[in-house]
Amino acid sequence: PRATGGLLPWPRRVMVLLNPRSGTGCALQLFHSQVQPMLAEAAIEFTPFVTERPNHARELVRDKDLSQWDAVVVLAGDGLLHEVVNGLMERPDWEAAIKKPLCTLPGGSGNALAASINHYAGNTRATQEELLTNCTYLLCKGLYAPMDLVSLSTASGKRLFSFLSFGWGFISDVDIASEKYRRLGNARFTLGTFQKLAVLQVYKGRLSYLPVEMSLFPPSNGLPIHILPQPGSSLEDPLLVPFDQPVPKHWTVVPEEEFILIFAIYQSQLGADFIMAPSAKLHDSSMHLFYLKAGISRLALLRLFLAMDKGTHLDMNCPHLHYVPVRAFRLEPFTSTGLMTVDGEPLPCEPVQGQVHDQLCLCSAA
């Protein structure tokens, strides 16, 4: 962590993106009652933008002259920050734009990054308004830290950037199915979990990954060539090979092909009371890959999810649950069952691969 007095300007003017449809629909009210007084105290000016439709935030950060602001603040859920990251990466000047400090203020029903940043800061688990105050405090202090981003590519040619998670199966289905209960706030996920437990589905596909350990000692041959990005061109993924080629030999191909869930998370918390990857950091050069093999009983699955409240699910030694930190992965579904999710947002089911990009962006954090 470092104060912005050194390399970055102290935030004087910030762009604030507000989603009136986030969570319980209180983002604007929270901004006026909680955030604005703290910004005034810190002498930070702001330009508010209330999003009018999906992708509005993405277009704003893609098209605006960002030099007028020292940081981009998102008071919403993880979904709006996902738009912001992708809007920045779509700019012709993405290399500079993605270094614009980002600040996530919890205003949605899913605020996983805010909860993670609160956890990394050493704070105790915080409820909504307390979490908002903690995150706004980091912004007012001008504290930033580098954050890894994951680049995802699909077989149909989509390119996405992600700061939180990629998933298929149980957790993704809960996320999508509980969208309609957004007004319940965080409780939407508990309700959704019980609903989906009743009708467990199996997802068939091939999962491959590059373990972090293997990427530290790669074989001397057979590795893709590292290509430096040309100015103006998009970011290269040196660890990935095209879908029509098998994954490199030093990758692991999972022998099982029937799953209840596959989930790669790059932050510690998936929700306010959902510690999925206890050891994850804002930048640790890894995706924390979990997969759950088919055949687990509903009771065992329920026990795992209850243990995630404290992050003790890995101590249960569940034979169906696998966990491995990875640098890259490929998932080739055999059927297009369900939707995949990226940062909690839906993605049609198709082959996807991705890799970590170390410290690609900057984020308000202690």
Which residues belong to the active site? 78
In the list 79, 87, 101, 325, the residue contacting Mg ion (rule: CB under 5 A) is 79
Among 11, 87, 101, 108, binds ligand ADP (CB under 6 A): 108
Which residue is nearest to Mg ion, using beta carbons? 79
Encoded amino acid at 304, one letter? L
Contact 82, 58 (CB under 8 A): no
Q: Which does 175 bind (CB under 5 to 8 A by kind): ligand ADP, Mg ion, none?
A: none
Q: Applying CB under 6 A, does 22 fall inside the site for ligand ADP?
A: yes
Q: Which is nearer to Mg ion, 101 or 110 (CB)?
A: 110
Q: How far, in Å, CA of 251 to CA of 239, rounded?
A: 10
Select 55 or 297, whichever has its Cβ closest to ligand ADP: 55
8 Å CB contact between 282 and 146: yes
Contact call for residue 87 and Mg ion (CB under 5 A) = no
Kindly state the greatest CA–CA separation across the chain: 59
Q: Does 178 bind ligand ADP (CB under 6 A)?
A: no
Estimate to the nearest angstrom the gap between the alpha carbon of 183 and the chain centroid: 21
DSSP 202-221: -EEEEEEEEEHHHHHS--SS
Q: Which residues inside 41-60 make contact with ligand ADP, applying CB under 6 A?
A: 51-54, 56
* Chain-centre distance for alpha carbon 257: 25
DSSP 302-359: HHHHHHTTTT-GGGG--TTEEEEEEEEEEEEESS--S-EEETTEEE-SS-EEEEEEEE
Q: State the nearest-atom distance from the C-beta of 83 to Mg ion, in Å.
A: 10
Q: Is 23 in the site for Mg ion (CB under 5 A)?
A: no
Q: Could you tell me which stretch among 33-41, 77-85, 119-127, 155-163 binds ligand ADP (CB under 6 A)?
A: 77-85
Entry field: residues in the chain: 366
Nearer to ligand ADP, 54 or 246 (CB): 54
> Counting beta carbons within 10 angstroms of the beta carbon of residue 56, is it exposed (0 to 12), middle (13 to 18) or buried (19 or more)?
middle
Report the residue from 159, 182, 250, 281 that binds ligand ADP according to the rule CB under 6 A: 182
CB of 224 to Mg ion, least distance (A): 34
Q: Determine the interface stretch with Mg ion among 125-133, 267-275, 278-286, 343-351 (rule: CB under 5 A).
A: 343-351
CB of 214 to Mg ion, least distance (A): 33
| x-marked contacts with ligand ADP along 333-352 as a string, rule CB under 6 A | ------------x-------
177, burial (CB in 10 Å: exposed 0-12, middle 13-18, buried 19+) = middle
Count the Cβ atoms, other than its own, within 10 Å of residue 149: 22
SS3 285: coil
CA distance 59 to 91: 10
- Shortest separation between residue 78's beta carbon and ligand ADP, angstroms: 5
> Both tokens of residue 258?
């029937």
Is the Cβ of residue 177 or residue 314 nearer to ligand ADP in the bound state? Answer: 177
- Least distance between ligand ADP and beta carbon 50 (Å): 7
Q: For Cα atoms 278, 282, 285, give the angle at the middle one, nearest 5 degrees.
A: 90
Which window, 43-51, 70-78, 193-201, 300-308, contacts Mg ion (CB under 5 A)? Answer: 70-78
Q: How far is the CB of 64 from ligand ADP (least distance, A)?
A: 16
User: What residue number has its CB nearest to ligand ADP?
Assistant: 77
In the complex, what is the shortest distance from the CB of residue 133 to ligand ADP, in angstroms, rounded to a whole number? Answer: 19
- Burial letters for 128-148: b for 16+ Cβ neighbours within 10 Å, e otherwise? beebbebbbbbbbbbbbbbbb
| Interface residues toward ligand ADP, by CB under 6 A | 19-23, 51-54, 56, 76-80, 83, 108-110, 182, 345
| Interface residues toward Mg ion, by CB under 5 A | 77, 79, 110, 344
